[in-house]
Amino acid sequence: DYTSYSEDREQKLTKDATTLVRAFNRQTIERYHTYIDMEHQSGRWQINYGLEYQHSDDHSRQSYILPSQEGFNDVLKEDVADAYIGLQASFDSGLSFSASAKGEYFHNDLQHNWNFIPQLGVTYYKTPKSIFQLNFTSQRIYPQYWELHGATSYINEYSSISGNPSLQPYMNYAAQLSYILNQKYSATLYMLHADKYSVQLPYQMPDKLQLMFQTVNFDFSRTVGLQFNAPFDIKDVFNTTAVVNISHKQEKATHFHDIGFDNRRWSFYGALNNTLKPSPGSPLSFSADATYITGQIQGPGKFNPLWRIDAGMKWRFGKQRSCEINLKFNDIFNTWKPKLTIDNAGQDYKLTAHDIARNLRLSFIWKFNGFRPKDLTVDTSRFGTGQ
């Protein structure tokens, strides 16, 4: 497959009729992707293997009229090649598993490295009463192309967003051990570990009155937790699902610009999702959901506790109830306002987000002959000149 992407953006920042910033950004990307897969079945064993190669040419430009500073006009080439092999099998004992291993080579104009990416899934399902599941996944997360050029965008006189040519991809590992009782109730012990994790964070300059947002690599980000899911149903008229999650998160960076941090915190998450119908076969249903989460961390900063209430109504009608009207009011009391506070090594920063979740939404859906839309989404997660 082949993807062609282009974007033009002009930024103009004024204050009291005076132009402070005027900049032009352009990005043109051509991406080629080719792969070959093979699958064999031998008794209860299924073997699959394949090769994959992706090449991209990212031609990005930035120029400034104001302020007087240099831009860039670069072509960044990137290659990702990998080979993988996988096995799947099911046994009469109730045990089934799948495992795969991928070797990947990554190269661009700034860096290159080899990566090993394993996957494992094991399920023991002897009776519907008790099910055990073990999953381990790993994934390589790549930065946006635009960030690797070191571009600068201005938010205001005080704040700017800077790219990072030394930004590296990071490995994301996830392990889960679950027990499912009666195909309804579940308990999951999990661990998430991101090696060289990266995220965009603010940093106050030590030598001038400037705030810079930049995506940087940490040493790691790690979360260990335990989650419970418990659904309850009363004669197909009222059902509720309770979710409880207790976790401990740690994020560490030995070199975060000219400082370091080792931030860690316990947190609690609870959610209650409820649905009510006037009668078992009623086309009308009502929903009310409540969510609460204690303070979280991100980098050297901490978030405040949050809570919200959502409510909605759904009406299904027409032939075979193919039509549906949904009315949903999210964050009714407008309480979902995250506030980030950083107080570490001379950094004193507070950011509060307002009105990011409250909304009233009305939608109408009409399904024709069991129509299901095809997934034609193109992955543009690494595209764009906005940071």
Which of 370, 363, 367, 366 is CA-nearest to residue 313? Answer: 363
What is the count of structural domains for the chain?
Answer: 1
Is residue 136, in this structure, part of any structural domain at all? yes
Does position 286 have pLDDT exceeding 90, yes or no? yes
Which residue type, as a one-letter code, is found at position 191? Answer: M
Is residue 155, in this structure, part of any structural domain at all? yes
pLDDT digits (tens, 9 = 90+) for 84-99: 999 999 998 899 999 9
Which residue type, as a one-letter code, is found at position 155? Answer: I
Which of 281, 287, 289, 278 is CA-nearest to residue 314? Answer: 287
Q: In a 10 Å sphere around its CB, with 0-12 CB exposed, 13-18 middle and 19+ buried, how is residue 156 labelled? A: exposed
Which of 204, 213, 202, 79 is CA-nearest to residue 147? Answer: 213
Task: Take residue 282 and report the two structure tokens written for it.
Answer: 């009623």
pLDDT digits (tens, 9 = 90+) for 141-155: 999 999 999 999 999
Mean pLDDT of 200-228: 95
How far apart are the C-alpha atoms of 278 and 213, rounded to whole Å? 51
pLDDT digits (tens, 9 = 90+) for 184-205: 999 999 999 999 999 999 999 9
Provide DSSP, 191-228: EEEEET-EEEEEEE-SSSS-EEEEEEE-SEEEEEEEEE
User: Confidence class of residue 374 from pLDDT cuts 50, 70 and 90?
Assistant: confident
pLDDT the model gives residue 387: 66
pLDDT the model gives residue 370: 66
Which of 103, 216, 107, 101 is CA-nearest to residue 170? Answer: 216
Is residue 387, in this structure, part of any structural domain at all? no
Please tell me the pTM assigned to this model.
Answer: 0.90
Cβ-Cβ contacts under 8 Å for 146 (sequence gap 6 or more)? 25, 27, 60, 163, 384, 385, 386, 387
Is residue 277, in this structure, part of any structural domain at all? yes
Domain that holds residue 42: 2-366
pLDDT the model gives residue 355: 87
Is residue 181, in this structure, part of any structural domain at all? yes
Is residue 177, in this structure, part of any structural domain at all? yes
Indicate the range of 31-35, 282-286, 340-344, 372-376 predicted with least confidence: 372-376
Is residue 372, in this structure, part of any structural domain at all? no
CA distances from 379 to 127, 248, 263, 384 (A): 40, 32, 33, 12
% of the chain surpassing 90 pLDDT: 82
Mean pLDDT of 205-217: 93
pLDDT the model gives residue 368: 81
| CATH number, domain with residue 112 | 2.40.170.20
Is residue 380, in this structure, part of any structural domain at all? no
